[in-house]
Amino acid sequence: MKAKEFDEAFESDQDITEHLDMAKATRPNKSTKRVNVDFPAWMVIALDREAERLGINRQAVIKTWIANRIDSGHSADL
């Protein structure tokens, strides 16, 4: 398939996945980088309570809260 045909198919909401090599597909800026953060014990306890309430792990709570803060446009406040 030529690039122009591919673009036209994409723009018209056709399924183009058969033309993609998904084994080599990547998402930009989705690589991970390890960051270590020390929290006071009371905060870890609160995080664990929230994680249990939501049925997710502590790391997921932290990631979700930080992502929500950044998405809400308050990243300039950090």
Extents of the domains making up the chain: 3-77
In this predicted structure, what is the pLDDT of residue 21?
86
Residue 4 to residue 59: CA distance in whole angstroms:
43
Q: Average pLDDT of 47-54?
A: 96
> Terminal CA-to-CA distance of the chain, rounded, Å?
47
In this predicted structure, what is the pLDDT of residue 75?
53
Q: Average pLDDT of 29-38?
A: 89
How high is the mean pLDDT of the chain? Answer: 89
Structural tokens at position 41: 């014990």
Residue 47 to residue 58: CA distance in whole angstroms:
6
